[in-house]
Amino acid sequence: MTTDKRIEVEFFVSYAHADDEYSDPFLDGFKEMVAPSKKYRFEFWQDSVILPGETWIKEIRNALGRCSLGLLLVSPAFLASPFITEEELQKFVGESSKPEF
């Protein structure tokens, strides 16, 4: 049994759902490009993993605190979203932004 010794990097994927037709193909291609990395193992967190009945805001805040980096798919719809600009964007842009490593 081999143990994966790559460094885990978890991305918080922030995007506007209005842009699904663009974000989904982009993410699929990006994941394919980074998958062969020998040094890093990339994980991607999206709100689509939140199960029915789970507390939506709690799950997002937990992921924001846990993820290493933000992958921000910026568009007019992204910038127009109060939730993204107030809850997500400030975690990755500005003085208090990540990463801390």
Please give the helix or strand (H or E) that residue 63 lies within, else none: helix 56-66
For 49, phi then psi, to 5°, come to -85, -5
Write the pLDDT tens digit of every residue in 11-48: 999 999 999 999 999 999 999 999 999 999 999 999 99
For residue 1, being part of any structural domain is answered with no
Mean pLDDT score of the chain: 90
For residue 19, being part of any structural domain is answered with yes
For residue 98, being part of any structural domain is answered with no
Per the structure, the complete domain to which residue 42 belongs is given by 7-92
Block residue for tokens 């990755």: 92
For residue 99, being part of any structural domain is answered with no
pLDDT at 99: 53
For residue 39, being part of any structural domain is answered with yes
For residue 97, being part of any structural domain is answered with no
State the sign of the Cα–Cα–Cα–Cα dihedral 92, 45, 38, 4: positive
Distance of alpha carbon 91 from alpha carbon 13, whole angstroms: 12
For residue 24, being part of any structural domain is answered with yes
Overall domain count for the chain: 1
